[in-house]
Amino acid sequence: MSAAALVVLTGAGISQESGLDTFRDPNGIWSKYRVEDVATPEAFARDPCKVHAFYNMRRRNLLAGHVKPNAAHAALAELERRWPGEFLLVTQNIDDLHERAGSTRLIHMHGEMRKVRCTACGAVVPNDTDLSVDAACDACAKAGGLRPHVVWFGEMPLEMARIGEALSGCDLFVSIGTSGNVYPAASFVAEANAAGARTVELNLEPSLARSHFAETRYGKATEIVPAFVAEVLATH
């Protein structure tokens, strides 16, 4: 028998203890900003300065010295290194804390805060500086066409074909720190169930998708993720 295939989905909850706000929690990002003002293509067309300011603020926060990967990110990097079968980590997070912890087989389905995309030539390049409406593209030199490399509401998440393929062949699906509010990520558990996978939710509290999971464990990511990883590595 071949080794089990594993897909892990992460959301904002895994980075909360690293000092990054989640979206829908009481003090979360959406308690301070309206989605329609900062995270849609329409918002960017209407007021690009406001959208740039929002992501400039979040990028600066991500790069602040106190923001570091935590024990849950580290446990997933170790799981990837030691897992004997297929492994894919799909994150909804646009931070780079999984990479900083050592994860490599990783898809950022909602894009990456430390990259910029040119709407003129399509180039996607690393960027750690503030963006503005008149900044020029390094690849094609056109000014005024740069946007954050993030997926906004109403846009298609990235690499869905690769994710769908992994889900349809997975034996174990683990969802960590996500509220189950945003589709298509919220429906991954149904795809994993259809594939006959064991499905596990690890979150601070029951998510909207909790009834679809065969197993659930609730607590802080830095506590329940390392414990779960130790357990699965001991039994596979």
Cβ proximity to ligand NAD, 127 vs 207, nearer residue: 207
User: Considering the complex, what minimum distance in angstroms separates the CB of residue 28 from ligand NAD?
Assistant: 5
Closest C-alpha among 156, 205, 203 to residue 184: 156
Spatial separation of the C-alpha atoms in residues 216 and 98, rounded to whole Å:
22
Q: 185-204 in b/e burial notation, b at 16+ Cβ within 10 A? A: bbebbebbbebebbbbbbbb
Active site residue 110: yes
Spatial separation of the C-alpha atoms in residues 193 and 187, rounded to whole Å:
10
User: Considering the complex, what minimum distance in angstroms separates the CB of residue 129 from ligand NAD?
Assistant: 19
Cβ proximity to ligand NAD, 77 vs 177, nearer residue: 177
Q: Which residues pair with 88 in a beta bridge?
A: 7
Annotated catalytic residue within 73, 108, 110, 212 = 110
Residue numbers at the binding site for ligand NAD (CB under 6 A)? 11-13, 16-17, 22-25, 28, 35, 39, 92-94, 110, 150, 152, 177-179, 181-182, 203-205, 207, 220-221
Cα atoms found within 13 Å of the Cα of residue 159, Cβ hemisphere only: 17
User: Considering the complex, what minimum distance in angstroms separates the CB of residue 228 from ligand NAD?
Assistant: 12
Cβ proximity to ligand NAD, 171 vs 180, nearer residue: 180
Active site residues: 110
